[in-house]
């Protein structure tokens, strides 16, 4: 099958840059993918959890007698029965900056959120196991629940963790420019100081496939074989071996097809450890599939943050200083491996964004509450940082009576590399160009005229809003070490092997969960070796086949993983040339890859050997190999980024229509001008943009995890947790700019998160633009329809 190549977008003749048919598609379309719940094993048992029914309590008794007597139930275990080590994520920071807290696999003496696992029940079928779970009796001595960041920080608040005073897990002040207060004082007199106080709703990353695992012990391999849908297979292996007291070689983690992750599957889950432990204890295969109610109430959540931000501007609109106090409600536990620092540390570092900011002060805190714990979610804090910065820009423009786009133009970084006040070096991007183009597109499409034509409409008002932002991708060891994580993710290792057919299998420590790595990484390898992509098989998600890896998150896969597979491919190419030079009796310098699965001579291009012929020698005729060249064809390479990573960037432009009669918000137009360097597969990049934007819109307008005052979650179903549908998400027009990265192998930058990062700010700005003249500004997300209604009606109450 020859792949079709889209003409025009990038150079001809290479796989990189072509939107080839995805390698993943045929099986997924035919219903022949293999997701974790599709796996069955002889004698498979099914697990579910007895979970906390109250938010904060000491456990005074657990009675599982009725559970064990339930027909079909095979076993039921509490924390005491399994005796597992805790999951503890650590930052190497002093106690006043970080308090480590242990997350037991099953709750022992205390529960800290509704849905916390207390006991695991194992039964012969997935129906009987729920009968068993229902029969459990847990007695509690209830404690007052801590249900908000303000309650957590209030003097005398009940403590969620005894070891964390003031319920504070992280309290860092990473930057404080000398003299910043004087800058604000001066700006008050001669320019403008604007302030944003914003709160963002708790969200669920919500992969459509919930979490799940199938585990069994294999005597012959002396291994606990764990098939789990995780973004970080090696970290799951590490934690499993430590919790169970096994050597790492005794645990094999493999990952089947994954139905999304978006960060929620980027942390080690208590349930996957418990289910594996039950399989180990019983020496029988055990499956756990999270149901949707548990996924909505007890899985890792994200995004609930409160900002108090001030920015100083001079009279010409140049930003002078930024002062931010931010508090992240991290729920009941620190996630592994990132810790509760994930959101405040990200926000503190990335807040200045695309602007030339001379002075910066920030305090970032993570507080613990009696809600389900939080983990990473696509964009991690940057949707909020960008939203706050872009609101500050809008408010400054208003205060200075300037056009908000013009104000941004005066402030975006235009000279690269740029060393920021946040000690980060920004590599080249197209901040100004993307902003200009985005505004131009909306202007040319006539939206400014539509807005003014509808100015007097009794039913509807129209607003236009922008967000201009960058996204740090390709976080290497350097960037994560700066966070002082005890686990420093960063590098990636790739191994490539060629078989006697002349085709290759390439491993990557990244873990695709929808990002198309089987296709895009194959494109990179195919270009490096001159193979057809169908002769390249990418292998991910197997701890026995891949030396070590950190999985897929933080838009790192193509930048770091893609660079590693490229480097390994280049090494294999050198080996092939060396063997060919020997067999064809010429100098190494006189050989080159022929771009069609072989090696040829530079001086006589019609002479050469196919890879299959060379591989035949390497394996089956090894006596013909040159001296010093061992048998076989394989190469290993690693890649890391020791600097600050590479920045993708984009500008989003949004047109909204507000309905005066209902407060309804409709997005009429969405334009995204993005720059992720060299796009390996433009259509995949566009897919990442559109999907990311949909999730950003969801956060801006629809989704929020709510609790009542006793800590009961108020969204156990999709009736309450409002994931938007095709009726709410608009089409997105995408325009590409290309500023290649100088240090990744293909010039690519990450593209996974930008859509989600930029959307809330653009939507919020558009809504507020439509509300101009009402005197109301809405800075919290998700935007409530009643707030819009009241703002337009003139009855808005803060």
Partner 1 sequence: MKPAAFTYHRPGSVAGAVGLLRDLGDDAKLIAGGQSLVAMMNFRLARPEHLIDIRRVPGLDQIRRDGDSLRIGALVTHHAVEIASLGAEFAVLSRAMRWVGHLPIRTRGTIGGSLAHADATAEWCLLAVLLDAVIVAEGPAGRRSVAAADFFHGVFTTALEPDELIVEVVFPRPAPRAALTEFAERRGDFAIVAAAVDLDLPRIVLGGVATVPFVAPVSGIGRPGDQYHSRLAEEAAAAVRVRDEPGVSAHYRRGLVRTLVTRACAEAEEIR
Partner 2 sequence: MTEIQLIELTVNGERHELGLEPRRTLVDVLRHDLGLTGTHVGCEHGICGACTVLVDGAPARACLMFAAQAEGSDIRTVESLAEPGGQLSDLQRSFTEHHGLQCGFCTPGFLMLAEGYLAERPGATKEEIREVVASNLCRCTGYQTIVEAIDSCATRRRIASNGTDCAAARRSNA
| Residue 127 vs 139, nearer CB to partner 1 | 127
Q: From the list partner 2, partner 1, none, pick the one residue 130 interacts with, judged by a Cβ distance below 5 to 8 Å according to partner type.
A: partner 1
Q: From the list partner 2, partner 1, none, pick the one residue 695 interacts with, judged by a Cβ distance below 5 to 8 Å according to partner type.
A: partner 2
Give the chain's largest Cα–Cα span: 88
- Asked if residue 59 lies in contact with residue 117, where contact means CB atoms within 8 angstroms, the answer is no
- Asked if residue 49 lies in contact with residue 117, where contact means CB atoms within 8 angstroms, the answer is yes
Residue 559 beta carbon to partner 1: minimum distance, rounded to whole angstroms: 36
Q: Tokens in use for 169?
A: 């897990």
Taking CB under 8 A as the binding criterion, the range among 26-34, 56-64, 180-188, 532-540 that sits at the site for partner 2 is 26-34
Which residue in the set 8, 12, 94, 725 belongs to the binding site for partner 2 (CB under 8 A)? Answer: 725
| Residue 70 vs 250, nearer CB to partner 2 | 70
Which residue in the set 76, 151, 180, 206 belongs to the binding site for partner 2 (CB under 8 A)? Answer: 206
Using CA atoms, how far apart are residues 359 and 557, in angstroms rounded to an integer? Answer: 33
| Residue 693 vs 705, nearer CB to partner 2 | 693
Q: Cis before residue 337, ω within 30 degrees of 0?
A: yes
Percent of residues in the chain assigned helix, strand, coil, to nearest 5 = 30, 25, 45
Q: Please tell me whether residue 257 binds partner 2 under the rule CB under 8 A.
A: yes
Using CA atoms, how far apart are residues 263 and 230, in angstroms rounded to an integer? Answer: 9
Q: From the list partner 2, partner 1, none, pick the one residue 259 interacts with, judged by a Cβ distance below 5 to 8 Å according to partner type.
A: partner 2
Q: Is 590 exposed, middle or buried (0-12, 13-18, 19+ CB in 10 A)?
A: middle
CA neighbours closer than 13 Å in the CB half-sphere of residue 183? 21
Residues that bind partner 1 (CB under 8 A): 126-127, 130-131, 134, 291-293, 661-664, 701-702, 706, 716-717, 719, 722, 724-725, 727-728, 784-786, 789-790, 793, 795
Which residue in the set 723, 736, 740, 743 belongs to the binding site for partner 2 (CB under 8 A)? Answer: 723
Which residue in the set 379, 490, 551, 687 belongs to the binding site for partner 2 (CB under 8 A)? Answer: 687
Q: Please tell me whether residue 140 binds partner 2 under the rule CB under 8 A.
A: no
DSSP 517-558: HHHHHHHHHHHHHT--GGGEEEE-SBTTTSS----S-TT-II
Q: From the list partner 2, partner 1, none, pick the one residue 664 interacts with, judged by a Cβ distance below 5 to 8 Å according to partner type.
A: partner 1
Residue 379 beta carbon to partner 1: minimum distance, rounded to whole angstroms: 22
Q: Tokens in use for 383?
A: 């949707």
Using CA atoms, how far apart are residues 262 and 223, in angstroms rounded to an integer? Answer: 29
Q: Tally helices (H) and strands (E) across the chain.
A: 21, 30
Q: Please tell me whether residue 785 binds partner 2 under the rule CB under 8 A.
A: no
Residue with tokens 């129209």: 462
Q: Tokens in use for 298?
A: 């007890």
Build a one-symbol-per-residue string for 343-382: x at contacts with partner 2 by CB under 8 A, - elsewhere: ----------------------------------------
Which residue in the set 91, 214, 536, 694 belongs to the binding site for partner 2 (CB under 8 A)? Answer: 694
Using CA atoms, how far apart are residues 115 and 630, in angstroms rounded to an integer? Answer: 56
Which residue in the set 17, 19, 434, 674 belongs to the binding site for partner 2 (CB under 8 A)? Answer: 19
Q: Tokens in use for 507?
A: 């491993």
Build a one-symbol-per-residue string for 631-670: x at contacts with partner 2 by CB under 8 A, - elsewhere: ----------------------------------------
Residue 91 DSSP class: B
Q: What are the CB-based long-range contacts (under 8 Å, 24+) for 793-796?
A: 793/660
Q: Tokens in use for 460?
A: 């509807």
Taking CB under 8 A as the binding criterion, the range among 28-36, 321-329, 350-358, 439-447 that sits at the site for partner 2 is 28-36
Using CA atoms, how far apart are residues 569 and 525, in angstroms rounded to an integer? Answer: 6
Build a one-symbol-per-residue string for 511-540: x at contacts with partner 2 by CB under 8 A, - elsewhere: --xxxx------------------------
Residue 257 beta carbon to partner 2: minimum distance, rounded to whole angstroms: 7
Site for partner 2 in 108-127 (CB under 8 A): 126-127
Q: From the list partner 2, partner 1, none, pick the one residue 134 interacts with, judged by a Cβ distance below 5 to 8 Å according to partner type.
A: partner 1
Q: From the list partner 2, partner 1, none, pick the one residue 663 interacts with, judged by a Cβ distance below 5 to 8 Å according to partner type.
A: partner 1
| Residue 164 vs 685, nearer CB to partner 2 | 685
Q: Please tell me whether residue 9 binds partner 2 under the rule CB under 8 A.
A: no
| Residue 298 vs 321, nearer CB to partner 1 | 298
Q: Please tell me whether residue 754 binds partner 2 under the rule CB under 8 A.
A: no
Which residue in the set 30, 162, 415, 797 belongs to the binding site for partner 2 (CB under 8 A)? Answer: 30
Using CA atoms, how far apart are residues 351 and 348, in angstroms rounded to an integer? Answer: 6
- Asked if residue 140 lies in contact with residue 60, where contact means CB atoms within 8 angstroms, the answer is yes
SS3 761: helix
Q: Please tell me whether residue 779 binds partner 2 under the rule CB under 8 A.
A: no
Q: Please tell me whether residue 729 binds partner 2 under the rule CB under 8 A.
A: yes
Q: From the list partner 1, partner 2, none, pick the one residue 260 interacts with, judged by a Cβ distance below 5 to 8 Å according to partner type.
A: partner 2
Q: From the list partner 2, partner 1, none, pick the one residue 460 interacts with, judged by a Cβ distance below 5 to 8 Å according to partner type.
A: none
- Asked if residue 103 lies in contact with residue 333, where contact means CB atoms within 8 angstroms, the answer is yes
Residue 67 DSSP class: H
Q: Is 158 exposed, middle or buried (0-12, 13-18, 19+ CB in 10 A)?
A: middle
Site for partner 2 in 263-302 (CB under 8 A): 289, 291-292
Residue 652 beta carbon to partner 1: minimum distance, rounded to whole angstroms: 22
Residue 514 beta carbon to partner 2: minimum distance, rounded to whole angstroms: 3
Q: Tokens in use for 623?
A: 């006596």
| Cα 635 to Cα 565, 575, 589, 727, distances in angstroms | 10, 9, 20, 49
| Residue 60 vs 662, nearer CB to partner 1 | 662
The phi-psi region of residue 382 (left if phi > 0; otherwise alpha if psi is between -120 and 50; otherwise beta) is alpha
Q: Tokens in use for 324?
A: 């931010």
Using CA atoms, how far apart are residues 324 and 198, in angstroms rounded to an integer? Answer: 11
Can you give the binding site for partner 2, defined by CB under 8 A? 19, 21-22, 24-26, 28-35, 37-38, 40, 71-72, 126-128, 206-210, 257-260, 262, 289, 291-292, 513-516, 683-684, 686-687, 690-695, 717-719, 723, 725-729, 731-732, 755
């Amino acid at each position: 099958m020859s792949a079709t190549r889209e003409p025009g977008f990038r150079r001809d003749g290479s796989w990189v840059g072509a939107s080839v048919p995805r390698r993943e598609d045929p099986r997924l379309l035919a219903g022949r993918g293999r997701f974790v719940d599709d796996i069955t094993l002889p004698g498979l048992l099914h697990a579910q959890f007895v979970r906390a029914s109250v938010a904060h309590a000491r456990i005074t008794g657990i009675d599982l007698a009725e559970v064990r007597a339930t027909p079909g139930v095979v076993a039921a275990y509490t924390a005491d029965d399994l005796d597992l080590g805790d999951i503890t994520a650590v930052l190497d920071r002093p106690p006043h900056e970080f308090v480590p807290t242990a997350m037991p696999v099953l709750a022992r003496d205390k529960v800290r959120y509704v849905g916390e696992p207390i006991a695991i029940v194992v039964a012969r079928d997935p129906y009987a196991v729920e009968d068993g779970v229902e029969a459990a009796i847990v007695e509690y001595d209830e404690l007052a629940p801590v249900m908000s960041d303000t309650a957590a920080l209030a003097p005398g608040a009940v403590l969620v963790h005894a070891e964390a005073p003031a319920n504070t897990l992280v309290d860092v002040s990473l930057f404080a420019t000398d003299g910043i207060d004087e800058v604000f004082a001066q700006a008050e007199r001669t320019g403008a100081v604007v302030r944003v106080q914003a709160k963002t709703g708790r969200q669920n990353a919500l992969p459509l496939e919930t979490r799940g695992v199938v585990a069994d012990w294999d005597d012959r391999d002396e291994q606990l074989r764990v098939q789990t849908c995780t973004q970080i297979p090696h970290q799951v292996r590490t934690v499993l071996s430590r919790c169970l007291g096994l050597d790492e070689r005794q645990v094999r983690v493999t990952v089947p097809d994954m139905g999304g992750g978006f960060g929620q599957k980027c942390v080690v889950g208590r349930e996957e450890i418990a289910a594996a432990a039950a399989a180990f204890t019983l020496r029988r295969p055990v499956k756990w599939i999270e149901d949707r109610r548990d996924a909505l109430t007890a899985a890792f959540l994200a995004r609930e943050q409160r900002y108090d931000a001030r920015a100083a501007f001079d009279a010409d609109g140049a930003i002078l200083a930024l002062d931010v106090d931010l508090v992240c409600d991290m729920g009941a536990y620190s996630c592994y491996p990132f810790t509760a620092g994930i959101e405040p540390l990200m926000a503190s570092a990335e807040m200045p964004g695309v602007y030339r900011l001379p002075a910066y002060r920030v305090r970032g805190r993570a507080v613990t509450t009696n809600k389900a714990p939080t983990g990473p979610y696509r964009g991690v804090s940057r949707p909020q940082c960008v939203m706050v910065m872009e609101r500050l820009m809008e408010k400054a423009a208003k205060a200075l009576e300037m056009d908000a786009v013009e104000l941004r133009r005066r402030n975006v970084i235009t000279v690269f590399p740029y060393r920021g006040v946040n000690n980060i070096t920004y590599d080249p991007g197209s901040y100004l160009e993307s902003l200009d183009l985005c505004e131009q597109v909306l202007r040319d499409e006539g939206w400014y005229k539509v807005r003014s034509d509808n100015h007097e409409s009794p039913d509807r008002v129209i607003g236009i809003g922008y967000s201009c932002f960058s996204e740090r991708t390709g976080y290497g060891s350097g960037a994560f070490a700066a966070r002082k994580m005890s686990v420093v993710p960063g590098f990636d290792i790739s191994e490539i092997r060629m078989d006697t057919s002349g085709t290759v299998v390439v491993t990557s420590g990244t873990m695709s969960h929808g990002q198309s790595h089987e296709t895009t990484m194959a494109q990179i390898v195919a270009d490096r070796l001159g193979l057809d992509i169908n002769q390249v098989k990418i292998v991910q998600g197997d701890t026995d086949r891949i030396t070590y890896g950190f999985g897929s998150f933080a838009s790192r896969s193509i930048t770091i993983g893609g660079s590693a597979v490229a480097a390994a491919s280049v090494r294999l190419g050198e080996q092939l040339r060396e063997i060919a030079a020997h067999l064809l009796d010429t100098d190494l310098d006189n050989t080159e890859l022929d771009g069609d699965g072989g090696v040829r001579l530079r001086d006589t291009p019609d002479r050469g050997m196919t890879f299959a012929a060379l591989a035949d020698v390497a394996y089956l005729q090894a006596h013909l190999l040159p001296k010093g060249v061992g048998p076989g064809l394989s190469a290993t390479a690693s890649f890391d980024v020791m600097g600050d990573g590479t920045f993708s960037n984009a500008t989003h432009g949004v047109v909204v229509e507000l309905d005066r009669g209902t407060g309804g918000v409709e997005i009429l137009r969405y334009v995204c001008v993005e720059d992720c360097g060299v796009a390996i597969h433009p259509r995949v990049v566009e897919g990442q943009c559109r999907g990311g934007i949909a999730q950003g819109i969801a956060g801006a307008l629809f989704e929020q995890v709510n609790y009542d005052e006793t800590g009961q979650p108020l969204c156990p179903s999709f009736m309450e947790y409002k994931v938007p549908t095709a009726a709410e998400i608009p089409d997105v027009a995408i325009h590409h700019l290309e500023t290649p990265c100088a240090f990744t192998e293909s010039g690519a930058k990450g593209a996974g998160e930008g859509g989600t990062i930029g959307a809330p700010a653009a939507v919020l700005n558009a809504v507020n633009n439509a509300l101009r003249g009402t005197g109301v500004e809405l800075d919290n997300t998700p935007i409530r329809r009643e707030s819009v209604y009241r703002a337009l009606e003139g009855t808005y109450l803060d």
